[in-house]
A = this chain, B = another copy of it.
Amino acid sequence: MNISESESRVMEVLWREHPLTSSEVVERVAPGENWSPKTVRTLLTRLTEKGALAREPEGRTYRFRPLIEREDWLREKAGQLVNQHLDGRLAPLVAAFAEREGLSEADREEIRSLLEKLK
């Protein structure tokens, strides 16, 4: 159920747009990462075996589609980080990120209004 770093690059593509054939995924992943098409296909296969993707035959090839939601996966990742290392408190994570990358006024406003909405 765990999605590795490289695999997540492939997932990102399919979360943005799906279903896609393997060649389409290859095209879309290629610019960023400098991977051989073989590598991308291997990742697609592994993700399918893991149950993160579904594929259906289409002619000579397959068409892939995510089986897990990006939101769920993100929640999972965020939750793990915060729960395992921050005693479940989110603020230190915000602080840590801010210190490293900085936050624009727009960022701050976005978070502020988000907090309001959560009330």
Contacts and interface: CB of A to CB of B under 8 A. Distances in A.
A101 B79 contact: yes
Given A91-B114, A112-B112, A112-B115, A97 B85 contact: no
A89 interface: yes
Contacts of A89: 107, 110
Interface residues of A, number: 40
Interface stretch (A21-29, A38-46, A50-58, A70-78): A70-78
Interface of A: 8, 12, 71, 74-79, 81-86, 88-101, 103, 105, 107-108, 110-112, 114-115, 118-119
CB-based closest 8 A-B pairs? A75-B100, A91-B110, A78-B97, A74-B96, A75-B96, A78-B96, A108-B115, A79-B100
